[in-house]
Structure 1
Amino acid sequence: MIQKGVIAILFFVLLGNPISVMAQTEPEDIAVATDEYQDAFYESLKQKGIENYDKAVISLQKCIKLKPNDAVAYFELGKNYLSLKDYRSAQDSFEKATQLDPKNKWYWLGIYDVSFETKNYPLAIETIQKIMVFDEEYKDDLISLYMITNQFDKALVAINEMNDKYGKSEDRDRYRLQILSQGKYQNAEIDNLIEQIKQHPKEESNYVNLIFLYSKSEESDKALNVAKQLAKEIPTSEWAQVSLFKGYLDSNQADKAIKAMNVILGSSKIDSKIKHRTLNEFLIYTNKNPQYASDLEKAISYFDNDPNVDVAKEIGKFYHSKGQFENAIKYYEKDLKANSETDRETNLLLLEAYAQMKQFEPMTKRAMSMIEVYPSQPQFYYYAGLGNNQLKQFKNAKTVLEIGLDYVVEDKTLEANFNIQLGEAYNGLGDAKKKEEYFLRANELLKKKK
C-alpha cells in the first residue's frame, strides 16, 4: 500500500515539472484509487466486525465502484447481505464473485450458505457438487442434503463411497441406520455389505452391520453364519463369540461356552435379540445339565434392567412348562422382587406353582395380599381359600371363598373349584349338609362343562 505522506510529497514534486505531471497522471490516479479502495475495504471489515452490516455494505459498494471486477469485494458484500438476511442481494453478490473467479471454492460456499438458509435445497445440491470438485470431503454435506430431501437411495450410495475412501463416521452411520429402518433399502445394503466383506475381510463393522440386518429381518440362521465367518477372520471380536458360543455348546465344551456367553451378554455392541437367543440356548442346555444352574443365575443378572423382557419371568414359565415348579417359583419370586411385586400374571403363575409344590403358607399369604390389590380378581380369592383350607383355617377359607365366588363370571371350571373348596371349608367346620350341597353344585358345574 502507498502511504498518504508519500503521495503528498510526490504530488508537490510533480508541480514543479509540467511535463512530468502529464506523464505521471495515470499512475498517480491509480495510486489514489488504490488508497481509496483499501481504506474503504478495511472500513468494511471494521464495520462488519462490530455488526454494522449496513455501513459495511456502503463501504464495499464504494470498493466495487473503484474496482468493478474485484471478486473479493463481491464476496465480502455477499457475506454482509447474508448477515442482514437480504438473501437475494447476497446470492447476486456471491454469484458475481464466482463469475469473476470460478475456481475459488469459498465463493461457491457463499451461494451454498444462502441456498441452505433459504431451504433452496435443489440449488444447495447443485452448488455443493461444484464445491466437491475442489474438496471431495464436502460430499458429507451432499449426503445431509439427500437425507433432508428424502433421496435415500442417492444418500446410501454416497455414504458407501465416502466410507470406502475416508473411513466411517458417526454421522454417516446414523444416516445409514435411518435409511435401513425402511425395509426397501435393506436388500441393496445387504448386497453391499456382502461385497464389502469380500473386499475387506478384516473390517469388523461390515460383519456387525450385516448381522444387525439379518437379525432385524428375523433371519437368525443367516446372522449366525455371518458370525461364524467373523469368528474365523477376527477371533478376538465380541461378535465372534456369538458363533463360538454356539459351537462350544454343541460340542459340550461348557466352560468355554459359558465364557463366550458372558462376553456376549456383557457387550454393549451386541443386539439384544442375539443376547436373548444366547440365554435361551443356555437355559435349554442347563435344563439338561443342572450343574450349571449357578452360571444361569449369573447370566440372568445381565438382564435385570432390560426394559423389554422380564427374563426371570420367562425362565420361570420355561420351568413351569416342564413341571419343575421349584425352579419356577425361584424365578417368579426373583422377577417380582426385581420388577413389580403386584404384577398380576406373575403372581397367578407363582400361586399355581406354590399349590403344585404344596407350599400353602406362602401361597395363602401372597394370595391374601393380592386380594387387597385386585379386589375383584376371583383367582386370588380361590388360592387364598385353598391355602386356608390346607392350613385348617376353615373359617377364614369360608369367608374369603364366599366373597370371591361373587366375582366369578362365565368360568365353569373356576366356579366348580370354588364350590369344592367351600365344601372342604364346611366339612372342616363340621357342617356336613353344607359340605354335601357345595360338592353337588361342583359336580353339576363339571357336568355342564363337559
Structure 2
Amino acid sequence: MKFKILFYGIMLSGSLTGPAAVYAQQEPDEIALANSDFENNFYEALKQKGIENYDKALLSLQKCLLKEPENPVIYGELGKNYLALRNLAEAEKAYLKATQLDPKNRWYWQGLYDVYYENKNFTKSIVVVQKLMEWRKEQYQEDLVSLYMYTQQYDKALALINEMEETVGVSEKRTMYKTQIMGEAKYKEPQKEILEAAIKANPKLESNYLDLIYLYSESNQEAKAEEVAKRLEKAIPTSDWAQVSLFKFHLNNNEGDKASESMFRVLESGKIDNKIKHRVLNEFLIFATNNPKYSGSLSKAVDYFEDDKKINVAKEVGKFYLNKKKYTEATQYFEKGLVVKADDIEGIELLLYTYAETGQNDKLLKAATNYIDSYPTQASLYYYAGLGANRLQQYAKAKDWLSNGLDFVVDDAQLEANIDRQLGEAYGGLGDAKKKESYFAAADKLAKNKKQ
C-alpha cells in the first residue's frame, strides 16, 4: 500500500503533503479505498480526454474534486477539458484556481494564456505573459510585442522592440511592427531626433541607423536617408543591412558598379531574409535589362539562388525576358533553370520555344528528341522535334515525329493545329502536295473553330 500512495503523490504534483497526511491517520483499509477511488476517477478522466470525450472526463474530475477540493492538478485538467470544449468561461475559472493553488507551475499560466488568447482578450493576456516571462523571457517577449500591437500600446511595443534589438537582434516580424509604428504621424519627427541622439550616443548600434533611414525615406528625404546609410557603412563596415539601403540609392543614381557590389554583399549575407534578397535581385534585373553591360552581374547573381527550394529563380528571370521578347537572354536562364530542376516540363517547353524563336534548329531537334525519351507522351515535344527537323529539311523524320505526336494531343486545339501545319510542311518537302494541302486545311479548320 505504501507504493500506491507514493505513486499517487508523484502523479499529482506533490499532493502527499496534503491529503496523504490525512490518510496516515486513518485505518489501512480506509486509505486503500479512498486512494483507489481517487486514482480510478483520475485515470478515467485522462483516458476520456485522450479519446476526446471531454464531457465524460469532466464528470470524473468532478468526482476527484469531492475528494481533494484544493488539488491544483485537478483544476489544471479541468481547464484543459473546458478549453477543448471551448467553454472559455469555465476554463478561465479552472486555470485561475490552479494558478492560485500552485503559482509556480508554468503550465497553469500557459493554459490561462491559451484561454485568453483564444477569447481574444489581449489585455488579460498581457498580464499572464508577463508572468510567463519568469520562465522563458525571450520566447514570451515576442508574444508581448504582438500583444502590445494588438492593444495599440505602441509606446510599450516600440520600447520592447528596441530592447530586443539590442539583446537578441533584428527579426522580420518585429521590423514589420516597427515599420507600422513609425508610420504613425506622432512618431515620425520626434523619432528622428531621438534616433539621431541615439546614434551619437551609441554609433555601433545598427538598428538605430536602419530606423532613421526608413523614416527619411518615408518622408521622401532620400538624400538624408542615403547620408545615414553611408554613416552606417562607415561606423559598422560589416553591416549587411547598410548595403540593402545603399543598393537602392546606387540604382537610383545609375551607379551600376556600386549597385552590383552592394547587391553581392546582400546576397552573400546570412543575416538578410530571402524575401529581401529576391527584391534586390528583381530590382537589379530591371536595371540590367535597361543596361545590358550588367547582364554578367545578373547571371552571377541568379546563381546565388540555385538552392532555393521554393522558387526556380533562373526560370522566373527567363520568363521575364521572354515577356520582353528577348529570346536569347531567356534561353540562357531557362537552361540554368533546368540545371536546378531537370524534370520541369514547363521549363523544358519554354526552352524549346526560345530555341525555335532564335533559330537554333540543331539544338531544338536534339533537345526535343532527347526529352521525348524521358516524356514519351508529351505531345508538345513531338511538335518541337518535327519543327526542328522540318527546318533542317529532314522531312521524313519530321513526318514521323509529328504523326506520333498527334496520338498524344488531348484537348489542345492550338497544339493540334500547329502539328497539322508542320505535317503539311513535311509532306510538302517530301513532294506530296495532296497531303500537304489536307493538313494545312485541317490546321485552318482547327484555328477557325477556336476563334468561334
TM-score range, shorter chain: 0.5 to 0.7
Residues 8-407 of structure 1 mapped to structure 2, 5 A cutoff: 112-114=103-105, 116=107, 119=111, 140=137, 143=140, 153=150, 160-162=158-160, 168-170=166-168, 187-188=180-181, 191=184, 198-201=193-196, 202=199, 203-205=205-207, 228=226, 230-231=228-229, 234-235=232-233, 236=236, 237-339=239-341, 341-407=342-408
Residue 437 of structure 2: aligned partner? 436
Q: 1:198-251 CA deviation, whole Å, 9 max, x = no partner?
A: 523434335658999x9xxxxx97899696475155234422323322222232
Residue 18 of structure 1: aligned partner? none
Q: Which amino acid aligns with 1:303?
A: F
**C-alpha distance in 2 between matches for 1:200 and 1:403:** 71
Residue 4 of structure 2: aligned partner? none
Structure 2 counterpart SS, 1:200? helix
**C-alpha distance in 1 between matches for 2:318 and 2:164:** 50
Over 3 Å counting, the alpha-carbon distance change for 1:374 and 1:208 in structure 2 is: farther
Over 3 Å counting, the alpha-carbon distance change for 1:353 and 1:223 in structure 2 is: farther
Over 3 Å counting, the alpha-carbon distance change for 1:447 and 1:198 in structure 2 is: same
C-alpha displacement of 1:189 = 7.4
Over 3 Å counting, the alpha-carbon distance change for 1:285 and 1:89 in structure 2 is: closer
**C-alpha distance in 1 between matches for 2:416 and 2:165:** 68
**C-alpha distance in 1 between matches for 2:147 and 2:170:** 15
**C-alpha distance in 2 between matches for 1:55 and 1:415:** 83
Q: Which amino acid aligns with 1:352?
A: Y
C-alpha displacement of 1:410 = 4.4
**C-alpha distance in 1 between matches for 2:192 and 2:241:** 15
**C-alpha distance in 2 between matches for 1:288 and 1:141:** 47
C-alpha displacement of 1:343 = 0.8
Identity %: 38
C-alpha displacement of 1:120 = 6.0
**C-alpha distance in 2 between matches for 1:172 and 1:87:** 48
C-alpha displacement of 1:293 = 2.3
C-alpha displacement of 1:353 = 0.7
What is the TM-score when the length of structure 1 is the normalising length?
0.59
On the 8 A contact 1:423/1:438 being kept in 2, the answer is: yes
Q: Which amino acid aligns with 1:199?
A: I
What is the TM-score when the length of structure 2 is the normalising length?
0.59
Which runs of 5 or more residues in structure 2 are unaligned? 1-13, 22-67, 74-98, 116-122, 200-204
Structure 2 counterpart SS, 1:294? helix
On the 8 A contact 2:209/2:229 being kept in 1, the answer is: no
Over 3 Å counting, the alpha-carbon distance change for 1:112 and 1:169 in structure 2 is: farther
User: Which of the two has higher C-alpha Rg?
Assistant: 1
Q: Which amino acid aligns with 1:432?
A: A
Over 3 Å counting, the alpha-carbon distance change for 1:234 and 1:386 in structure 2 is: same
Aligned residues: 348
C-alpha displacement of 1:254 = 2.1
Over 3 Å counting, the alpha-carbon distance change for 1:190 and 1:112 in structure 2 is: farther
**C-alpha distance in 1 between matches for 2:221 and 2:266:** 13
Q: 1:162-183 CA deviation, whole Å, 9 max, x = no partner?
A: 5666874439969958x96xxx
Over 3 Å counting, the alpha-carbon distance change for 1:354 and 1:199 in structure 2 is: same
Which runs of 5 or more residues in structure 1 are unaligned? 1-52, 61-85, 92-107, 215-219
C-alpha displacement of 1:273 = 3.0
On the 8 A contact 1:193/1:207 being kept in 2, the answer is: no
